[in-house]
Every structure is written in C-alpha cells, then in structure tokens.
Amino acid sequence: MVRMLGSRVAVGALATGAAVLVAAPTASADDESSRHEEHHGGGLDIGAGAEGAAVVDTPHTTSGNSLGGGTGFKVRLGSQFHVPLVRLTPELAYGYEHFFAVDDTGTTFDWNTHRIMGGIRLGLGELIVPNLYGHLGYGWRSTADPTVPSAGGLAFDAGVALDLHLIPHLSFGPHVEYAMIDASPFVPQWLALGVHADLVL
C-alpha cells in the first residue's frame, strides 16, 4: 500500500515537472514576442525639443539692426516605421525661434520666426540611435523694427541627432541643425543646438 502510494506520488511529481518544463519555454516565448512587438513596428511619434541658436549670416537692416543669439523650440508629429536597427519617421513640424537684436541707437528690435514644415527622420540602431533629418515648408519672420517689413518664404532645416532609448516608448538626446527662412530681403539663417524627446505610442 505504501509502495503504491509512493509510486503515485512519484508519477504525479514527474507529470508536474514535465508540465512546468513544457510551459516555461512557451511563457518565455510569449514574453519575448511581447517585447518584440513593443520595440518593433513603430507607431505614432510625438516629439518636442528646446534649443539655443547662433546666427550664421547676420542681416544688417537700414536701422543698423543686427541679430545676436536666440532661443526656440520645435514640436513634431509623425508616424514611425521601425524594423530591427532602422527607424524611419515621416513627420510634420512647427518651429519657433526668438532672436535678440539691437540697432545703432541701442534700441531693442527682437525678431520672431515661425516655421511649418514636413520632413523625414532616419535613425540607425536600437539603444543608441544616431539620426539624420530634414524638413521643408513655409516660414515667416516679424519684428518691431520699422525698416524691416514682415515677410515669409521657403523654410528649410537639416540636422543630426542622437537618441537614447533607455525607457520603453521614450527616447531623448541632443541635436544640432542648420535652419533658414528665405524671407527676402533679410534672410535669417542660424545654427541650433538643443535637446529633444520623443514618445512613440
């Protein structure tokens, strides 16, 4: 009787162990599949960044107004396509830049610029992802300087960025870009250095 009971316990233990061994790889595979779906495929990309700017070619107005440095931000909305080691993101962007300026008499005539653009962003990698990006669209500038009429024209930017993907769905890092607005006769051109973050849903 004791032997029979012992045999049944042993058989039950063996069956339970076998079930655990079979189930473990399945659970591991399910977890791996879940992680794969989380990190690959892409989704809606919402991005924002802040930056400082240095004027490349300072426009000199009739009043002697000269642009100095500036600050600004950019917001982006796109659709990211993600396969292993490659991230491609067509996107729309709005950018704002405020430039500090002073004329010959010391009067402050700051400039404000706005840009609405479409473009694309290409990233290579998974954890540390270098990016190339560019945008093209329409931009305009305005200032209180009476010798500089408000004007608009072709807006363009191109830059490089480094994204760190340390948190699921969230990346952040630095960027540097060249930007311009062809708003004749005074065309603002600048280099921007800043930080940005992206959330992929």
pLDDT digits (tens, 9 = 90+) for 162-190: 999 999 999 999 999 999 999 988 889 99
Cα–Cα distance, 117 to 134 (Å, whole number): 9
* H or E segment to which residue 67 belongs: strand 66-83
Cα–Cα distance, 132 to 157 (Å, whole number): 11
The predicted structure's pLDDT at residue 19: 43
Lowest mean pLDDT among 12-16, 63-67, 168-172: 12-16
The predicted structure's pLDDT at residue 37: 41
Q: What's the whole-model pTM score?
A: 0.77
CA-derived radius of gyration, the chain: 28
Residue 109, pLDDT above cutoff 90: no
Domain ranges across the chain: 1-39, 41-200
Q: Position 120: which residue type? A: I
Per-residue confidence at 98, pLDDT binned at 50, 70, 90? Answer: very high
Output the CATH code of domain 41-200: 2.40.160.20
